Amino acid sequence: MLIRMDKDELSSCYFRGTYRASQAIEELYEKLHTSTGDPLLDEEIVVKLVQDCIRKVRSELDIIKTGVNEFSAIENKYER
């Protein structure tokens, strides 16, 4: 089922995307520390964790861009 992209749905898209992106950042912070609270020291592991986080955040930002693109396409169609 397709959802019609109106302003409310676009705002919800923004919320979901930014919320999930911020959750990914919070998860990264937690993963960068051991269970006792010490920071990870293994550069290879840290780099992989950061790369995984970047991928997740970019995915959420792409969803936001797709949402505004869909909204703009619908708005432009009705303006003609």
pLDDT per residue as tens digits for the range 11-38? 999 999 999 999 999 999 999 999 999 9
At position 12, the amino acid (one-letter code) is S
pLDDT at residue 78 in the model: 61
Q: What percent of the chain has a predicted confidence (pLDDT) above 70?
A: 92
Q: Give me 33's structure tokens.
A: 């520390």
pLDDT at residue 74 in the model: 83
Per the CB < 8 A criterion, the answer to whether 79 and 72 are in contact is no
Query: pTM value?
Result: 0.84
Torsion of CA 48, 52, 53, 55, to 10 degrees: 140
Does the pLDDT of residue 53 top 70, yes or no? yes
